[in-house]
Structure formats: C-alpha cells, structure tokens
Amino acid sequence: MNFENSLAFATKMDQEDPIASIRHEFAIPQMPNGDNEIYLCGNSLGLQPKLATEYVQRELTQWATLGVKGHFSGDFPWMPYHEFLTDGFAELVGANSNEVVAMNTLTANLHFMMVSFYRPTASRYKILIEEHAFPSDHYAVESQIKFHGFNPEDSMLLIKPRDGEEIIRHEDIHQLIEEQGESIALIMLPGVQYYTGQVFDMQSITQLGHQKGCKIGFDLAHAAGNILLELHNWQVDFACWCTYKYLNSGPGSIAGCFIHENHHQDETIPRFAGWWGHDKKSRFKMENQFKPIHSAEAWQLSNPPVLSLAAIRGSLDTIKKAGGIKVLRSKSILLTGFMRFLLNAELSHQVAILTPHEKELSGCQLSLAIKQNETGKEIIGKEVFDFIETQGVTGDWRHPNVIRVAPVPLYNSFEDVYRFVQILKNALK
C-alpha cells in the first residue's frame, strides 16, 4: 500500500473500507462540543458494542420476568450460557471448540493454570517470564514459586532486551531456553507485550520449549482479538486472556482460557476443582466425587456471571458481523501502517516508535516515546499526552515516557488516524 499524507487520502480509504459501517455498531464517547472523540485506547478498554447493551438488557428482562426459571428458558438459557461463547472464542484464538472456556478473570486463570502446569521438581523448577512483564503476571508467578517452597531469586528467569534496546530479541529467548531448558518447568510469556506492543513468536517458543520438556503458557490479554492466533496447531499447553480490551466486553468482564486437548483426558492433572467443572450429566446428583468434564470446561469452578457473558456475546456477534478476525487483522495492518507512515513523515525527529515495524511482530498498538521538540529543548511526554487529551484524543500513558495508541479496526477510521497525528504534531510544537 502506497500511503499519502493527506486528509483526502484518509477519506478515500474510509470510503473504500468494506467494514467501515461496523463503526456505527459502537457507542463512541463524545467531546463537550458534541464531536466524537478520537478513541485510540482499545488496548486498555474497548468501546461498548450496541449489541452488548441489547443482550445484557435481554437477560435483565429474563431475570425480572422469569426469576430462577431463566436458567432453563428462552433461546439463551443461563445454565449453558457460557457455551454460546465457545465458537467465537475458538475462532479468535485458533482453537478447537472443546479447548476454550469463559471463566474467572485473567490473573485468576493464570493462577489456576499454574496449579495444573507448574509442577516444579528439585531439578526442574524455574519459570521463564519477561523482566518487564505486566505486574500482575509477575506477582502471580512469584507467588506460585513461593507457594511451592522455592526462592524467586533463582527460580524466576527474566528475559529482557539488550542494553540500549526496547524489544526482546527472539534469538535471545531461544538461546536462554536452549541453555537452561532442562531446569525450566514453565515458560509463560505474553502474546503481545503490553508496553512496547511487540508480538512474540509463540509458535517457535512453544516448539523449542517442548523440545526441552517445558510446559508453555501465554498471556493473551493484548493478543486476543488483535492478531491471528493458532493455539491448537502451535501445541500451546494453555493460554489466558481478558475480554475487555480488543473483545470490547466491559470493564472487569469475565476472561477466557485455552487448554490444549492433549490434556483433557488426563484426570491425574492436579487442579483446583469446582462443581461447574464436574461432568454435566451427573452435576446435579450432588455427589462428592469429582468427575472432570473432558474439555477445557473441567477447569471451571463456579457458574459464571451471565450479565458479563451477555456483553461478551454481543461483542463476539459484532466481530462476526464484521467478518471475523482475519478481516479485522487485514484492516488493522492498513490502519496501523497508515499511522506509522504519518508519524515517520511528520514527526520522526520527535517521536520514536518502540513497536517493531514488521507486521508479524506487531498488532494494532503503537507505543510512542516522545523525544524532543523542534528547538531541541527536552519536553515531558506526559505534558504532551495531557494536551492531546484536551483535543479529544483518548490514548493511554505509561511511565516513564510512552504514549500508547491503538487504532482498532472495528471502530477506528483512517480519518481518526490522520486527525490524531495532526493533533500530536500541534502538541509537539
């Protein structure tokens, strides 16, 4: 694609966009003057799909009119409601339908997965994570290590970028696995790094880790609904993701989990069990001998919150209406590519793009480090961020000096991208 630096070009791209109308399926926040915000914060909280509002209201009505009978009545009864999300989840992460389930929240799921897949021994006890992992992941891993009686100082392997670099090189990950794989019990890395937007090569990491006898899990908080995934074919052991970023299901919404079917028949796998993971046919016999479902559902504990599930179903149906993740990814590459083109054309001397430029190494997020203004005088990136917010741009700020922006293909336009860069340009003046 040969991009052009003009509003006319952005308008032309929007007119030719086959899924441009999906933008109208979302509630877009407005500025005080009534204009739409330029909302570039889907990497933190996605916008509300109108179908989510409709579906949640439907279940509130069911509750009001049917009470407990809502568990078994209507087109979407509450008892099996989580199953209505299965196909949508499976398509998004490249899984079989029996390998995914909606349950709990992200960090809770990571803990439950580590109960099953982090089984340290005297010789194999380390967990490989990134040094700049999302803090909740770091806390979870450190606490699991301590729970098993090991010392995090020698049990946590922290992979980091080389000095003076921002991006972790995959060859460094491979080398560390090659050198220390015999002592690594679990590799747990992100699909997309939250700070830089770097996409990890999950397939090669999984393959090499398995060759060394390691279990492999991924945090897909910034990957699910953003990039193409093939968890089943890659043979990943487990993965977890939240649904309020690119899956647009509302703050704190229930999360998703993948467990490869290789593990479904093994009833010896340790797990923290609950009755929603028990065999469905005998669940209500109320017996006290746990019989796990032979699918990812076996890791469930309690019946999930239906109102949250309804919001997710609304989002998944909106994604389906847009044509699915492959269509969204194609548009995303163009949207983010256009933003990168404009930033390089207008602001390369003032803004450093931390996110790798290769499309296989990046999703829709770009992480922008503010360098200096045109006079050479150092400026503070937070001040720039605060200014663009007053102009109707919603992104997010990450200490010490990064503005994260994510043009989401479901609801962002090429005009959004063009206008954002012009506002950033004015801010830096």
Peptide bond into 400 cis (omega under 30): yes
* Mean pLDDT, all residues of the chain: 96
| Cβ density class 30-47: b for 16+ within 10 Å, e for less | eeeeeeebbbbbbbbbbb
How far, CA to CA in Å, does 83 sit from each of 79, 97, 297?
9, 9, 9
The CATH number fitting domain 57-320, selected from 3.40.50.2300, 3.10.290.10, 3.40.250.10, 3.40.640.10: 3.40.640.10
pLDDT score, position 376:
52
| pLDDT at residue 372 in the model | 60
Per-residue pLDDT band for 399 (boundaries 50, 70, 90) equals: confident
Q: What is the pLDDT of residue 94?
A: 98
Matching residue, tokens 């979870």: 140
Least Cα distance to 335 among 362, 317, 370 occurs for: 362
β-partners of residue 156 are 127
Region 44-64: what's the mean pLDDT? Answer: 98
Contacts for 261-268: CB closer than 8 Å, 24+ residues apart? 261/96, 261/98, 261/99, 261/232, 261/295, 262/235, 262/237, 263/116, 263/237, 264/98, 264/294, 264/295, 264/296, 264/298, 265/294, 267/292
User: Model confidence at 373, in pLDDT bands (50, 70, 90)?
Assistant: low
CA distance 58 to 314: 11
Amino acid at 49: P
In DSSP terms, 238 is beta-bridged to 217, 259
Asked if the model's pLDDT at residue 55 lies above 80, the reply is yes
SS3 368: strand
User: What is the predicted pLDDT for the residue at 377?
Assistant: 53
Task: Kindly tell me if the per-residue pLDDT of 136 is higher than 80.
Answer: yes
d(CA 235, CA 229): 12
Q: pLDDT digit string (tens) for 14-51?
A: 999 999 999 999 999 999 999 999 999 999 999 999 99
> Residue 79: pLDDT above 80?
yes
The Cα–Cα gap between 133 and 221 comes to 12
Mean pLDDT of 346-355: 94
Average pLDDT over residues 284-308: 95
Predicted pLDDT at 382: 86
- The distance from CA 30 to its chain's CA centroid, rounded to whole angstroms, is 25
What whole-number distance in Å separates Cα of residue 145 and Cα of residue 141? 6
pLDDT tens per residue, range 302-333: 999 999 999 999 999 999 999 999 999 999 99
Percent of the chain, pLDDT > 90?
Answer: 94
- Which residues does residue 38 pair with via DSSP β-bridges, in sequence order? 393
Query: Of all residues in the chain, what percent carry a pLDDT higher than 70?
Result: 98
Model-level pTM? 0.95
Mean pLDDT of 407-426: 97
Please give the DSSP secondary-structure letter assigned to residue 362: B
Mean pLDDT of 105-116: 98
Name the residue with tokens 């229930």: 254
| Cα–Cα distance, 408 to 348 (Å, whole number) | 23
Return the closest-CA partner of residue 312 out of 243, 263, 379.
243
Categorize the per-residue pLDDT at 267 as very low, low, confident or very high, splitting at 50, 70 and 90.
confident
Sheet holding 238-241, edge to edge: 100-102, 256-259, 238-241, 215-219, 184-190, 126-130, 156-159
Rg (CA), the chain: 23
User: pLDDT, tens digit, for every residue of 216-260?
Assistant: 999 999 999 999 999 999 999 999 999 999 999 999 999 999 999
108-124 mean pLDDT: 98
pLDDT digits (tens, 9 = 90+) for 179-203: 999 999 999 999 999 999 999 999 9
pLDDT on residue 379? 59
Homologous superfamily of 7-36+324-428: Aspartate Aminotransferase, domain 1 (3.90.1150.10)
What does the alpha-carbon distance between residue 356 and residue 113 come to, in Å, rounded to a whole number? Answer: 30
pLDDT of 150 reads 98
At residue 389, the pLDDT reads 95
401 — pLDDT class (breaks 50, 70, 90): confident
Q: What's the pLDDT at 312?
A: 98
Domain residue ranges of the chain, discontinuous segments joined by +: 7-36+324-428, 57-320
